Every structure is written in structure tokens, then in C-alpha cells.
Amino acid sequence: MDDINTNANEITNENVNFETRINLGPLLDHVNTIKKEIETVIVGQHKMVDQLLVAILSNGHVLLEGVPGVAKTITAKLLSKTLNIGFSRIQFTPDLMPSDILGTSIYNLKSSEFEFKKGPIFSNLILIDEINRAPAKTQAALFEVMEERQITIDGSEYQLDAPFLVIATQNPIEQEGTYRLPEAQLDRFLFKISIDYPKLNEEILIIQREHTLQNHDKLEAIKTILSSEEIRQYQGLVKQIRVEQNLLEYIARIVVNTRENAFLYLGASPRASIAILNAAKGFAAIRGRDFVTPEDIKEAATPVLQHRVIVTPEREMEGITSSEIIKQIIETVEIPR
């Protein structure tokens, strides 16, 4: 009997050691500290902050969508203040050219040679304001850099320093003077985060904080938490998080269902499957686990898929959104046991 108990204890101890084989303590400390810094300015929006942190850990780009005044831009600036990395802001306008983003070759009279002058995209965290206000030619300039983290100009390749993350904002209501983002570009965003209006109690707190601040700068007291080296280290840790085979199949079934759904004209690509996998690992990490659960996958699925699918015109006219269809698909796919 004692031998049986001893063996059971050994198995239990082995399981515990296996479950905590990745040291996520420092990562969690930094994540919680960043949240506290952001919460000194941003009221509520906890889900959005979690998704932004997951995007950083998963090395993915983010599209923030919301009406003007819901703190899209200031959230991105706050996040950049907590990270000791390069920050660049680009305001997209209808007359913006690709060279305004990527850079251009300038003739040097002294050397009698062309020299490449780098554009604002050569940084670590890029905030693109009103991304849907630039025409297709300018949008296409982002395809290579968002996917491959490199730029090809005049036959020369320029690698961007890691980490490289794009946070773009757009207004879903005002469509005059805007251009629909190409599907190929939307597919390069890890998340599309929809930001809603604050609740009544949150609105009151926003007003109170603004009244208390008076002439003080909101971002002045924000502390720097993470360095570029630490970000790269944590991104490496997140990749090591365990995912069981049945959960990989669960992700595949969700994505395949988007291609077979009668309400969707266009389903998600294999890139979406990989995005759900990486995002689920990120959610597990910020929850302090080194293994993915079905709940992590469900939490990742909607922000990963809602901008990668197209609702059929008939359902769109009925007011059905892609996020509603994605949620229905998640509910119908059997959860692994």
C-alpha cells in the first residue's frame, strides 16, 4: 500500500514539474506592471489591453477599430511608453505615397551616388492612424514589411529590427474619403479589436480623471517596463508553450467550419489557423500557464477570424456581423475532452 502511495506521489510530482517547466514568473510580473501603468490613464477596456499584450508576445500586428474618441490612438501611445523600443507614428491620408512610408533613394552630390533615406516604417512599434484613408498603392507598400519584416527597394533588401509591430486604427462609421483595406492586408493582422463605448460608471471615472489632471500630461508619469531584448525573450518563451494534438485539431475544425459556413462568402486561410495557435499561446502565458486550454483558443478565435472572413451579401443586409457568425461556429464545434 505504501509503495502505491509512493508511486502516486512520484507521478503527481512529475506532473507538477512538467506543468511548470517554463518559468513565466518574470513575464507575468512585467505584464501586470504594464497593465497597471495603462490603467492609470485608460479606464476599463481590460479585454483590449490583454489582446494588445498577447499580440506583442505573439509577434503579431493589431487593427484597432472604433469610433473617434474611444482612446484608440492614446492606448497605442501608452503601450509604446511602457516599452523601451523605437516608436513611429504615421498619419495615413489620401495623398500619402509609398515612399513617404518606406523611404526613398536620394542622390548625394558629394559621392555622386544614390543613398537610401529610411522612412518612418524603420522602427519597432508603428502606429498607423486612420489606415483606411490611404489608397491601394500605399496600402500595398505594407504587404511585405508586415509579413516578412523586410523592405525591398531598388533591388536591395532592408531587414527591420526586431521586435516589429504595427498597430493601426480605423473608424468603422465614417466611410467618406476612405478605402476598403485589401483582404491580403487584413489577413496580415493578428487581431482586429473592436472598441466599444465605455459604460456609465466608466464614463464618470473618465471625466473625473480628466478634471483632476487639469494641465498635466496624461503620459508624463508612465514608466518604461520592457526592453526590446526582454520582448524577444518572452516571445521565444511563448512559442514553447505546450499545445496538445486534440487542441490543434480543434483549431483546424474551427477554421475549416468558416469555409463551409453558408453565411460566409469567404472563409479563413491557413494563416488564420497559425494565428489562433500563436494567440492562444499568448493568452495562456498572460494567465500564467505553459499549456493551452480550449478557453484560450475560444478567446483567440473571434479577434483572429472576424476580419479574415466575408459575410454573404444577404446576411450582411440582415445586419449579421462576422463576429456573430464566428461565435456561432465556436459554439457548434465540439470542445476536446
Q: Give the residue from 296, 178, 212 showing the smallest Cα distance to 248.
A: 296
pLDDT tens for each residue of 226-273: 888 999 999 999 999 999 999 999 999 999 999 988 899 888 889 999
Q: Which helix (H) or strand (E) holds 108?
A: strand 103-108
Q: Give the residue from 38, 86, 48, 89 showing the smallest Cα distance to 299.
A: 48
Angle among Cα 157, 159, 161 to the nearest 5 degrees reads 165
pLDDT-based confidence at residue 56 (cuts at 50, 70, 90): very high
Q: Give the residue from 238, 281, 282, 225 showing the smallest Cα distance to 30.
A: 225
E-assigned strand segments in 132-209: 150-153, 156-159, 165-170, 189-194
Angle among Cα 213, 214, 215 to the nearest 5 degrees reads 105
pLDDT at 11 over 80: no
Is residue 166 within 8 Å of 90, Cβ to Cβ? Answer: no
Sheet with 87-91, edge to edge strand ranges: 87-91, 125-129, 165-170, 61-65, 189-194
Phi, psi of 142 (to 5 degrees): -90, -15
The whole-number average pLDDT for the span 189-208 is: 86
Cis peptide before 313 (omega within 30 of 0): no
Q: Buried b vs exposed e over 240-267: b needs ≥16 C-beta within 10 Å? A: ebebeeebeebbeebbebbeebebbeeb
Average pLDDT, the chain: 85
All three cell numbers of 96, joined, read 500619402
pLDDT at 20 over 70: no
For residue 55, how many C-alpha atoms fall within 13 Å in the half-sphere facing its CB? Answer: 27
The whole-number average pLDDT for the span 159-179 is: 83
Is residue 41 within 8 Å of 74, Cβ to Cβ? Answer: yes
Phi, psi of 111 (to 5 degrees): -95, -10
All three cell numbers of 298, joined, read 475560444
pLDDT tens for each residue of 129-163: 999 888 888 888 888 888 888 888 877 888 888 88
State what percent of residues in the chain have pLDDT above 90.
35
Q: Give the residue from 41, 39, 129 showing the smallest Cα distance to 50.
A: 39
Predicted TM-score of the model (pTM): 0.84
